[in-house]
Structure formats: C-alpha cells, structure tokens
Structure 1
Amino acid sequence: MLSPLPAVQAKQPAASISSVQLAALPPEAQATERLIRAGGPFPYAKDGSVFGNREQLLPRKARGYYREYTVKSPQAHGRGARRIVCGGEPPTRPESCYYTDDHYASFRRIVQ
C-alpha cells in the first residue's frame, strides 16, 4: 500500500500579487528605491545580486532577470528581512519592483 503524499501548501499565483504605493512604504524602502534608480552606492555587498525566485511568487522570468536589494531595518541585526526585488534591464530602469517585509514569504508590487 502506498503511503499518502504530504500536503503541499498552495503558492500565491503571481497574477494575484497586491500592489503598494511607493509613498506608503517605510522611508528606508523609499530610500532603497531611489538608490536602485541611481545605480547605488548600496550599503550591503549582496545588493544588486541575482534573485532566483525559488519561491515562485513573482512572475516567471529567465534567471538573472530579478535582482534583490536590502531595505535597512533599524532594529534588525544584519540585513533583516526587508527587501526590494526588481526585474528588467538596465537595473536602474526596472520594469517592475516588489517589496517584501517577511524575507520572500510574500510580495507586493511597488507602484508610483
């Protein structure tokens, strides 16, 4: 007799990602977004590195399309959980950016 398969948690489809106004984000996120558009300089060595979208919560794109940037978290040790992930080329003019404050468990699309 076969054993039952483990339950799989459904992933949020990329099409159902909610949006958030840039002005509604924390000031640190707004500052990070300005740095992205200016091309840096970034405070963390990993800023601008490729984001693999392993969680598959963002729209599927070729590897290298998404890049991640740290949003400073005043009370956190190290980089904290907040990030902005942007897609497109060149990185200073991304096609879309997403904000997460829970280390990639959920995303909201940033709109101007």
Structure 2
Amino acid sequence: MKATPHHMLRSSRLVRTAALAALTSALFIGGPAVAAPLAGHTAPVAATAHASYTVKSVGSVCQSGLPSQAQDTLRLIDSNGPFPYPKDGTVFSNREGVLPEQDSGYYHEYTVKTPGSPDRGARRVISGEGDHEDYYTQDHYATFNKIDFGC
C-alpha cells in the first residue's frame, strides 16, 4: 500500500474541519452552510444543513386571496376597531427583521381569527404607517406577504 503524503492528509483534515464548521454555523445561526475555499482547492466546500432557516424576504398576496377572517381584520383596522383581542393594535417590533426596517412603533399587529383555535392562533396582519402598508402572516411571523390591494 502506497503511503499518503502528510500534507495531503492535513489538507483533507482541513477540508473536513471547514465543512463541519460551516454545517455547525448553519445549524446554530441559520443560513446556507458554505465554507470558503482552502489553499490548493478550487471549489468551496459545501455542507447541507437540514435545519430550516429564515429567508429574509417578503412575498405578496392579493387582498382578494386572503381568508375571510383576514378581510374582517382589515376592515376593523380601517375603521379603528373595536378589536376582539386585547393585544390587537400593539406595537410589532419586527425582531425577525423580515419587514423593511423602520423606527420602533411604525408597525402594529392585529389578530386574524383562526376557526377552531383555542387561542389567538398564528395568523396576523401587521400594519405599517404607510397607506395600505399591510402584511399578512399565517405562520406567526415565519413568513410575510405584503397585501396587494390593487389586484
């Protein structure tokens, strides 16, 4: 059996270490796991993390495509209530950083009733200070869709 040169073993160990570091980073921080190329290697070392991570972007949804309960919530927002839940109208702090960055107090959250749910459920309308600047989330802030009132 032919002996493997020491520098090749070390390089291979570095590649494995970099891949493990990238995977660990993806699991704890979120995001794709990609390590930078190492000396002597032409392609980056990639590792696939099976943990989910937040993609910081906002989709869109036509107002007419929202559930009827979301339509009800939008009507209540337009008429300034009365709102069915005490937390409706409270400041939404955008801790997830998905919505466009604004000063504190810019966004407010409102519950979208979820039939059969024993509590407020996961659906919300987040309303910004802009004219018809409303976002819908059906999964408690994991994803957001800007509501398009023109379609």
Q: Shorter chain as normaliser: what TM range?
A: 0.7 to 0.9
Structure 1 residue 9: Cα displacement: 1.6
**Aligned positions of 1:28-47 closer than 5 A:** 28-47=69-88
Partner of 2:62: 21
Please tell me whether residue 9 in structure 1 is matched to residue 30 in structure 2.
Answer: yes
Partner of 1:56: 97
One-letter code aligned to 1:63: S
Q: Give the count of matched residue pairs.
A: 104
TM-score scaled by structure 2? 0.64
Poorly superposed stretches of 4+, deviation over 2 Å: 4-8, 10-14
Please tell me whether residue 78 in structure 1 is matched to residue 99 in structure 2.
Answer: no
Runs (5+) with no aligned partner, structure 2? 1-20, 32-53
Bigger RCO (CA 8 Å, 6+ sep) = 1
Please tell me whether residue 68 in structure 1 is matched to residue 87 in structure 2.
Answer: no
Give the percent of matched residue pairs that are identical in Structure 1 and Structure 2: 49
Q: What do you get for the CA RMSD once the two structures are aligned?
A: 1.7
Runs (5+) with no aligned partner, structure 1? none
